[in-house]
């Protein structure tokens, strides 16, 4: 394997159509001159250049566009594609998107619930971006392993890190490592076909599941656990997950939160779906909502509408149709407020038997409200524990600053601190909060900052080889990238496999099978 350390070697450049005249001294950036009678005309044209590059023991002569800003984006989820979309507003910029999975779209493919197909329509926009002649997707390339960030920075004028939050926040309580305890992130990855989670095999033979957390991901997991399997048959949920859910014995799902109804992190859309879930009824304790009517008068409208729906569901008598539906329901879900997990309790066989919870009360007001223990404890029996207390990003490369406490790359408006030419967008920039629209706005801002820096001359001058150099480097390391046209072949295969069972697609979940289908 060639060394990962490489540098520009013997810079030399000339117009593609003729060799450099003897004695010429070429320079780079906006002041390239070639001493011949046509120099003025050549300066005013967008010319191709040849650059000699050394990668380890290899020396390459690469053709590049002299005035083309070469930019790469790491990550092909919403943050990556929205950043690329904004960067392409520059009339000459070329953007390469690198992705460690063989397939694109990140959280849209692997995070959005299978029964929310309308959210995945954003893939159409991302596909249009990928089809641009100045944009390229390169999957099956893991930055930090197959190629380093310093190597990307040598090959491109700017690098944007948009790789999202690939890990989950640990509970950090005793018993977290027991069988039958897993993260909601892994569970979501399992039913959505994320390769690293395809062999999760959750045990759904129990009656009760506990989800620790009260955000949208927690509600997604609860909804998938309780949705009648026949309602999922026409979605893109994986075949393996659907088979396990058909055999599920889970009848009750509790969602546990440290604080109260005014602090839940889910949105009204997800709550309404749970309330209307076929075959399931809600369990809410009216005592948790005492005095809430007066408190919600001053809160922002979205929070007020959400809390009012919770309040009505908990305290008001349902209408005849809803009452009949709930009376016949065989499954149930409930919200347990003011409870903080202390320990996953083991059963005699060494598996999990329940969760020990500390009863809490609230102190402070507004955003400063926090849960403090009262000293009381209670045990909640269950057979499955799913932690949903947040996602977090990982450091991608030792050369990139990283705040391990906040789980983000330190930055100012997307500019990575103390590293000129390096940027970030999405969750790795601001933390795992917000919806896809939030990420769009955030990513556009990073793109805007980068283009401003480019216009102001703050990025490296002179030509950069971009993917041509990285391709040679990857080839020397035995890495075969997957192009967007390759992905479209995999896409067609998934759609064809799904047609036989009435599904929009049957996702491929094994990267090796994907590469075999492509002849890699």
Residue stretches of the annotated binding site for FAD: 79, 99, 107, 143, 427, 434-436
Q: Which two tokens stand for residue 206?
A: 């129990």
Binding residue positions for NADP(+): 214-217, 258-259, 270, 434
- Give 495-508 as a DSSP string: HHHHHTTT-S----
Q: Cα(99)–Cα(109) distance, rounded to whole angstroms? A: 13
Q: Cα(121)–Cα(435) distance, rounded to whole angstroms? A: 14
Q: Cα(95)–Cα(129) distance, rounded to whole angstroms? A: 10
β partners of residue 25? none
For tokens 């927690």, name the residue: 218
For tokens 């969602």, name the residue: 255
Q: Cα(103)–Cα(36) distance, rounded to whole angstroms? A: 49
Q: Cα(105)–Cα(59) distance, rounded to whole angstroms? A: 35
DSSP helix/strand/coil, 332: strand
Burial of 455 (0-12, 13-18, 19+ CB in 10 A): exposed
CA proximity to 50, closest of 5, 6, 20, 91: 20
Q: Cα(491)–Cα(315) distance, rounded to whole angstroms? A: 48
Q: Would you say 262 and 299 are in contact if contact means Cβ atoms under 8 Å apart? A: yes
β partners of residue 270? none
Q: Which two tokens stand for residue 332?
A: 């149930």
CA proximity to 99, closest of 140, 130, 128: 140
Q: Which two tokens stand for residue 247?
A: 């055999």
Q: Which two tokens stand for residue 385?
A: 């524990």
Cα separations (Å) of 26 from 18, 43, 90, 318?
A: 14, 12, 27, 80
Radius of gyration of the chain (CA): 27
The residues near 496 (Cβ < 8 Å, ≥ 6 apart) are: none
Q: Would you say 76 and 106 are in contact if contact means Cβ atoms under 8 Å apart? A: yes
β partners of residue 387? 183, 212
- CA max distance for the chain: 93
Q: Cα(280)–Cα(276) distance, rounded to whole angstroms? A: 8
DSSP helix/strand/coil, 375: strand
Tell me which long-range contacts 14-17 makes (C-beta under 8 A, separation of at least 24).
14/49, 14/50, 15/42, 15/47, 15/48, 15/49, 16/47, 16/48, 16/49, 16/50, 16/63
Binding residue positions: 79, 99, 107, 143, 214-217, 258-259, 270, 427, 434-436
Q: Cα(63)–Cα(94) distance, rounded to whole angstroms? A: 14
């Amino acid at each position: 394997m060639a060394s990962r350390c490489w540098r520009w070697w013997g810079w030399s450049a000339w117009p593609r159509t003729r060799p450099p005249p003897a004695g010429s001294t070429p320079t780079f950036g906006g002041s390239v001159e070639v001493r011949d009678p046509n120099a003025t005309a050549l300066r005013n044209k967008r010319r191709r250049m040849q650059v000699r590059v050394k990668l380890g023991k290899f020396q390459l002569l690469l053709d590049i566009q002299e005035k083309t800003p070469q930019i790469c984006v790491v990550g092909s989820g919403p943050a990556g594609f929205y950043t690329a979309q904004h960067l392409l507003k520059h009339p000459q910029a070329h953007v390469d998107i690198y992705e460690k999975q063989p397939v694109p779209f990140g959280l849209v493919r692997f995070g959005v619930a299978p029964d929310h197909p309308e959210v995945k329509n954003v893939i159409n926009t991302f596909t249009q971006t990928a089809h641009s002649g100045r944009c390229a997707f390169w999957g099956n390339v893991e930055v930090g392993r197959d190629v380093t960030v310093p190597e990307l920075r040598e090959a491109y004028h700017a690098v944007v890190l948009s790789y999202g939050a690939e890990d989950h926040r640990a509970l950090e309580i005793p018993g977290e490592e027991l069988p039958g305890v897993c993260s909601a992130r892994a569970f979501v990855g399992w039913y959505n076909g994320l390769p690293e989670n395809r062999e999760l095999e959750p045990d759904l033979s129990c009656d009760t599941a506990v989800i620790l957390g009260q955000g949208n991901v927690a509600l997604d997991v609860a909804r998938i656990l309780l949705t009648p399997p026949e309602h999922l048959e026409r979605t893109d949920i994986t075949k393996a997950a659907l088979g396990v859910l058909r055999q599920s014995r889970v009848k009750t799902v509790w969602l546990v939160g440290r604080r109260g109804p005014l602090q839940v992190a889910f949105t009204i859309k997800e709550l309404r779906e749970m309330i209307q879930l076929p075959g399931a009824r809600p369990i809410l304790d009216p005592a948790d909502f005492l005095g809430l009517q007066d408190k919600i008068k001053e809160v922002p409208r979205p929070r007020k509408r959400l809390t009012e729906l919770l309040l009505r569901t908990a305290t008001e008598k349902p209408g005849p149709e809803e009452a009949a539906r709930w009376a016949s329901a065989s499954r149930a879900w409930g919200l347990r407020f003011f409870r903080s997990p202390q320990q996953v309790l083991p059963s005699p066989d060494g598996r999990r038997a329940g969760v020990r919870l500390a009863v809490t009360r609230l102190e402070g007001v507004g955003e400063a409200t926090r849960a403090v223990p009262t000293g009381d404890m209670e045990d909640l029996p269950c057979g499955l524990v799913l932690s949903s207390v947040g996602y977090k990003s990982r450091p991608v490369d030792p050369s990139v600053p990283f705040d391990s406490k906040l789980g983000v790359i330190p930055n100012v408006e997307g500019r990575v601190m103390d590293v000129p030419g390096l940027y970030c967008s999405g969750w790795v920039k601001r933390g795992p909060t917000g919806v896809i629209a939030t990420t769009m706005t955030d990513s556009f801002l990073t793109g805007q900052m980068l283009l401003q820096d480019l216009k102001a001359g703050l990025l490296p001058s002179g030509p950069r080889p971009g993917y041509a150099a990285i391709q040679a480097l990857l080839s020397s390391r035995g890495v075969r990238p997957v192009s967007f046209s390759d992905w479209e072949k995999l896409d067609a295969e998934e759609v064809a496999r799904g047609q036989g069972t009435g599904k929009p697609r049957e996702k491929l979940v094994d990267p090796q099978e994907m590469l075999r289908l492509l002849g890699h």
